[in-house]
Structure formats: structure tokens, C-alpha cells
Amino acid sequence: MIESALFKNASLVLPNGIKEGDIFIQNGKIHSIGPSLSHSAELEIDAKGLVIMPGMIDSHVHFREPGPTYKETIESGSRAAVSGGVTSFFEMPNTNPSTTTLEEMANKKQIASQTSLANYAFYIGATPDNLEVLNTVENVPGIKIYVGSSTGSLLVADREQLIPIFENGDRIISVHSEDEQMVQDATQQFADSTTPSDHYRIRSTEAAIKCTKMLHGLANDYKRRLHILHLTTADEVCFLRENPSSYVTSEVCPHHLSLYGPDAYDRLGNLVKVNPPIREKHHTDELWKGLLDGTIDCIGSDHAPHTLEDKDKPFMQAPSGMPLVELSVRLLLHYMNQGRFTLSQLSHWISAKPAQLFGIHSKGVLKEGFDADLCIVDTNATYTVSRSSVVSKAGWSAFEGSELKGNVVMTIVNGQLVYREGDILESVKGQEIRFN
């Protein structure tokens, strides 16, 4: 274990801007930040030409354990995470069995304490009859409700079943927002389809905006914090922009910012089948506008791995989801290099804002006294996505063949060097994230 480390001559992404300087970490914390530190340290690295940012807090991953661990485990998912500059993750409850009881929550935390290389937290999943658990389970980022069904069996789609959850308790409610009846009706209509691009017709724009409007109303009626996950439609962005609420926040995912139909489906077929779906380009364009103007608050990966064998099934049988936790920061660095946004904006969306939204103690910014969770990047390096480069157990990427400008070169979790230029130090273990 490293008790102290000094990084010299780096570009530091600080809350008040980017400054050249040094950062000294000791006993897992950021001890000092300054223009020219002279501390002696067990590990000293000349970071000239590199950028040090807070590690990404990926508030939306699926690691499949317990359940189909041939697709991913907490250990393998956390390896992928740290290789991509993610130092903390929130994992979703649609495992098998689902995380809807105190026992299953305790089981996941026990597995993570022994195997996770990154810091971890787990959502509690809502059912129509586990209200007491939702409000008594200890130390979770929030309640996850699948108001529209996705991969797994969790579903609370009826407004009357949602009301008791909204009117009881004060935890953040994070939602998958699609109108279930509309999706089911369309699924029957397209039951014989063999065309992957029909996915955004089955899970229509109308189904998304109808559900989001309903949930937005519940949040305001019951004064309850609502976080809308993986926005995909221009309609939702425009609605949220025109109807701002202090109770409602939202997330966008890198694949919805990067890919659009029908082009992506023509090239990649089921590999880009995700819920909610990749849509046409005008939706992608509006998601970018919403992120840049502050309508959308943060970015999460929605890492949802499946094997190529599963993805090779006929369109209607193939599962939805793609691996992304190790590529999010790299993709976003690439877009930063294209001039779409700044490093400070990137750091805000993937680190500071998630920490603020979910009340995470001592994480999300480079600040003395805060946890030493760092993502160290070379903004000028290139990274080619290949089958062999994928760390996730899934073993593939929808972005295979892409040459990205900007690469993660080191990841520090709680002051420990866990990833460096392709090497993963598996002896390092993360810690359970604490919420205010």
C-alpha cells in the first residue's frame, strides 16, 4: 500500500479552473495542492504534459452479479472501470436475484468489499410491495424504479403504485422512463421484425415523453427528488428545458451522444440495441444542446454488458445493452479535443455534479482534504478501440475501430495507484461510498 504520492508539473482540473502545479496525496487523501510542492513521498511521478482530474463517478452501471456472471462480475466490471478512469460506481438492482431486499443488498456489499477495485454503491430496486425496505436500507445512492421494463424483471409501471413511493421517504428516485403499455403494444406490433432499427419504433419517442411528463408531475406534486436516467429524446430535453424544477435532474449517456439511427443500426445491428434506444440524429443533436445548456446535469455510462453470442441472436431475442464503463472518459476526451466543450465542463459532468446530486462525501473535485480519487489523462495521446483492448468480460465494443484522441494513463483510488498504462494492480480494493 502506498502511504504517500507526489505528482509534479501536471495540469490540474480544479474547481476554479485549470492550473499548472503539483498534488500531494497522503493516507488516501489529497493533502496539498500547489505550484511547487517539496514534500517527500513514497511514489513520485513527473506528470508534465498530463492532466489530473477527479476520477469519474459513474452513477449508472450494470455488473450482473449475482446472476449471469459470465457477462460481468463486480470484480471484472470494476477492473474495466478503473482502466477507464472511473474511481467510483453505482450499480443497478436488476441482477438475479434483484436487489430489492436487505439481504440482497448486504450480499452485494459483501462481494464488493472483497473484489471491487473501485469505490462502490448499490441502488435499492423498487417493487410494488417493498416500500419499507426502500426507506430503511442503509447507505444507498437512491431508489431505482423501472417505470418501463428493460433487462430483468423489475417493474413499477402503474401511477397508483408509484404514488406511495413518491409520497413516503426522502431518498432520490432514479427512473428508467418509458411508458410500459405503449412499449408492450408496439412490441406486439413488431413481433416478427428482423430489423434492428425497429427498436426505436418499438420504444418510441412518444412512450418516453409521456412517461417523463408523468414522473415530472409526481416529483413536483410530492416535492420529491427525481433523477431521470439515460435521456434519449429531443422531446424530453425540450420539455425539461421549458419546465425547470428544483426537484428534477437528468442524465445522458455517451452512446446516445455518439450514435444515431438508422446509420448505427445499419453498421452494427444488435450491438447498438439498448434501452432506451439509439434514436435518429435530431435527437442526438438535442441531447448535446441539453448537456451544454445545463438542462441535462450529468453523464453516466449505463454499462450493460452482454456476450457476442447473446447479441448474435435474432433481433427480437437479442438482449439490450452495451459495455461502456472503460470508454466513457476516453470518448468524452475525444469530443473535448474536437472543441465541443472544455476539460472543466467534462470534469463537472462526470465528477463534481454526480457528487453534488447524490450527496457524496469528500469526492468529485480536487480539493485538499478530499479523497484522493484521480483520473490522469494524456489529452494528446491516441487510443484505438479494439477487441483486444476491451477489459470488460463482454469482450467487444460498439466503438471497435475508432481512433480516439485522449487517453486515460493512470487511475488513483483512495490514494492507491490501481491502473497505469494498461497494467491493473489487483491488490488494491475500493471502499463503500458514503452518502451525506
Q: Quickly list DSSP for 69-127.
A: TTT--HHHHHHHHHHTTEEEEEE-S-SSS-S-SHHHHHHHHHHHHHH-SSEEEEPEEP-
Q: How far does Cα 68 stand from its chain's mean position?
A: 20
Report CA Rg, the chain: 21
Question: Using an 8 Å Cβ cutoff, are 142 and 174 in contact?
Answer: yes
From CA 267, how far away is CA 327, in angstroms rounded? 20
* pLDDT for position 426: 82
Length of the chain: 436
Please name every residue paired with 223 in a beta bridge, in sequence order, or none if there are none: none
* pLDDT for position 155: 86
Q: Burial letters for 24-33: b for 16+ Cβ neighbours within 10 Å, e otherwise? A: bbbebebbeb
25 φ/ψ angles, rounded to the nearest 5 degrees: -120, 145
385 φ/ψ angles, rounded to the nearest 5 degrees: -80, 120
319 DSSP assignment:
P
Per-residue pLDDT tens for 334-389?
Answer: 999 999 999 999 999 999 999 999 999 999 999 999 999 999 999 999 999 999 99
From CA 192, how far away is CA 198, in angstroms rounded? 11
* pLDDT for position 136: 97
Of the candidates 39, 43, 40, 1, the residue with the CA atom closest to the CA atom of residue 376: 43
* pLDDT for position 152: 60
pLDDT < 70 positions in the chain = 150-153
Nine-digit cell string for 272: 447498438
Residue type at 139?
N
Q: 3-state class of 236 per DSSP?
A: helix
Q: Burial letters for 143-169: b for 16+ Cβ neighbours within 10 Å, e otherwise? A: bbbbbbbbbbebbbbeeebbeebbeee
Question: What secondary structure does DSSP assign to 361-411, as a single string?
Answer: TT-SS--TTSB--EEEEEEEEEEE--GGG--STT---TTTT-EEEEEEEEE
Question: Using an 8 Å Cβ cutoff, are 119 and 414 in contact?
Answer: yes
From CA 300, how far away is CA 94, in angstroms rounded? 17
Q: 3-state class of 135 per DSSP?
A: helix
Residue type at 328?
S
From CA 411, how far away is CA 376, in angstroms rounded? 6
341 DSSP assignment:
S
* pLDDT for position 151: 60
Question: Using an 8 Å Cβ cutoff, are 87 and 373 in contact?
Answer: yes
332 φ/ψ angles, rounded to the nearest 5 degrees: -70, -35
Task: Report all structural domains of the chain as residue ranges with CATH numbers, in order of start.
Answer: 4-52+365-424 (2.30.40.10), 55-358 (3.20.20.140)
Per-residue pLDDT tens for 297-310?
Answer: 999 999 999 999 99
* pLDDT for position 193: 97
Element spanning 145, H or E: strand 143-146
From CA 92, how far away is CA 96, in angstroms rounded? 11
Question: Burial of 42 by CB count in 10 Å (0-12 exposed, 13-18 middle, 19+ buried)?
Answer: exposed
SS3 breakdown of the chain: % helix, strand, coil, rounded to 5?
35, 25, 45
Question: Burial of 39 by CB count in 10 Å (0-12 exposed, 13-18 middle, 19+ buried)?
Answer: middle
Question: Using an 8 Å Cβ cutoff, are 414 and 373 in contact?
Answer: yes
Question: Burial of 204 by CB count in 10 Å (0-12 exposed, 13-18 middle, 19+ buried)?
Answer: buried
Of the candidates 88, 106, 279, 110, the residue with the CA atom closest to the CA atom of residue 198: 279
Model pTM above 0.75 = yes
Contact residues for 371 (Cβ-Cβ < 8 A; gap 6+): 28, 29, 30, 362, 363, 414, 415
Grid cell 465528477 is found at: 351
